[in-house]
Amino acid sequence: MHPDLDGDARQERFLGLFLPEKGTVRAFIRSIVWDRIACEDLFQEVALVLWREFDRYDQGRPFGAWARGVAAKTVLKSLRQAKRTPVAVSGDTMRALEAAFDQLAFEEAQRPASRQEDALRHCVERLPDKSRALVHLRYRESLKVEEIAARVAGSPEAVQKALSRLREKLQKCVERRLRAA
């Protein structure tokens, strides 16, 4: 990480890397810890560790692989400390899970975008800034309507209505692009 980044730039860089990977990090943890509440607690702990250790992240390596490695260490440490909870997987199994997730991430990166994905990307890019920001908050950051409303200083009802209109607009735009292709 660049030591010359100020706090806001560091946070923005971290979130830009973490948010697209949070689903795979959570799935990785869930593949080891089956209890949903324990999984969510561990996910929160892993997110904090990733933030604290972000300066150690090697930008030459995929962020997802690094994040899953940190998750593996954090989960194993937590399971060992909770003596009442038996460790469900061995170190070899953990490494196999990491390798499987890395392979999935690689395959996903190599897969060409579908026509629908291309059309959706095009349609989202053409939205006005405020609309694009709502879509980003809801679908990239996975925020709830209430959280979005708090961020944009609006009511949850207004945000829900705006998102509903945007989904309809995007669906029509995608359908038009696919018909034209």
As for how many domains the chain has, the answer is 2
pTM of the model: 0.50
At 137 the pLDDT is 85
CA dihedral 29, 113, 124, 158 (to 10 degrees): -40
Residues 91 and 119 occupy one common structural domain: no
Contact criterion met (CB below 8 Å) for 18 and 67: yes
Residues 148 and 172 occupy one common structural domain: yes
Q: What is the pLDDT along the chain (181 residues), one digit of tens a residue?
A: 445 567 788 888 899 899 988 888 998 888 888 788 888 999 999 999 999 999 999 888 889 889 998 998 898 888 777 655 454 556 667 677 777 777 766 666 666 667 888 888 899 899 998 898 888 888 877 788 898 889 888 898 998 899 889 888 988 998 898 888 7
Residues 64 and 125 occupy one common structural domain: no
Residues 28 and 103 occupy one common structural domain: yes
Residues 133 and 96 occupy one common structural domain: no
CA 71, distance to chain mean position in Å, is: 14
At 1 the pLDDT is 45
Contact criterion met (CB below 8 Å) for 140 and 19: yes
At 43 the pLDDT is 93
Contact criterion met (CB below 8 Å) for 131 and 166: yes
Residues 141 and 94 occupy one common structural domain: no
Task: Write the CATH number for 55.
Answer: 1.10.1740
Contact criterion met (CB below 8 Å) for 114 and 106: no
Inside any domain, residue 172: yes
Residues 34 and 93 occupy one common structural domain: yes
Inside any domain, residue 22: yes
Domain of 130 in residue numbering reads as 115-180
